[in-house]
Structure 1
Amino acid sequence: MRTEEARPLTWDHVYLATENGVPPHVAVWRSVRRHGETKTRKSRRAIALPKQVVEVLEEHLRWQERESHGIEWSPAGRVFTTRSGEPLDAVNVRRDFRAIVKKAGLEPEWTPRELRHSFVSLLSDHGIPLERIAMLVGHSSQATTEAVYRKQLRPVITQGAEAMDEIFRFEALRRDSEA
């Protein structure tokens, strides 16, 4: 999800249990853009949640319920808020992300947007087809996914060297058999 899609996310768009064969998922239908629209029509999507994310969101919901102290944190309330229950803005997200990056010992230049780039790159490196990745991240075209988001995780291209090693090994074996 884009941070602009996560910030307005409400609990009534988060499904933490499998129901009628549909796995846990999040329905991305809104953003903080003008008129609440997502960036593109294809940005409206339902994304299945990994088990680890389901567990974290369940704990987060329990935390909100414990911490509400009179603040209206209803099932239709926002998933991600400030500690006082207020809606997040871009400044909150960047500040909190910088704190996490620092605590993790990463370079301070990291931004929340780079999580999307990492997600795309990891899926691509894992063999997920580009068209499916584009659909997951809500791109209207896989060209954007490939040109802007996907980074080569294994920058050393080994196929040429491997082919040459095999060719020359074959040549060496042939010479040895002729001798």
Structure 2
Amino acid sequence: MSVAEPRRIVLFRHAKADWPQVPDHERPLAERGRTDAAVAGRKLADTGIAFDLALCSTSTRTRETWKLAVHELAHRPKTVYEERVYEASPGELIAVLNELPDDVRSVILIGHNPGVHGLADILAGSADGDARERMNRRGFPAAGFAVLSFEGPWKGVEPGAAELTDYWAPSE
């Protein structure tokens, strides 16, 4: 693959979590979250993106979200459970993306707010149609995702380097 071919980054926020008396890292999905994760998986399938890699936070709610969403995809990508994605800032998430090998063309990152929303906003130097306005108006709710496109090597992922091409969130 040439590094000049467009790459895709999908930033996927975990679905709605429950609030039992457990440490934050161990919070499971709420019933609504389980439903929304599967719906988000179908919407991800509708994008037509064949993910080469999934980077998933190690938290219970992100792992459960991904397990439910990935069943809706035609192709199951290699999944890496990455501790650095849990509670990561946009800068920390960029550092993780910068480490990806150049043979990866498309990645989905399953993480948390405010990092996921912040990263989508920071990376998007431009946006198709009203995608940015919709994303920012909604505040990137649970089970929402943003699709970004950029050209160049993963080391070139930096603020403003991508185009926000799509945004989706479950209805409230």
- TM-score of the pair, normalised by structure 2: 0.26
Higher strand share: 2
Query: If you compute each CA radius of gyration, which structure gives the higher value, 1 or 2?
Result: 1
Higher helix share: 1
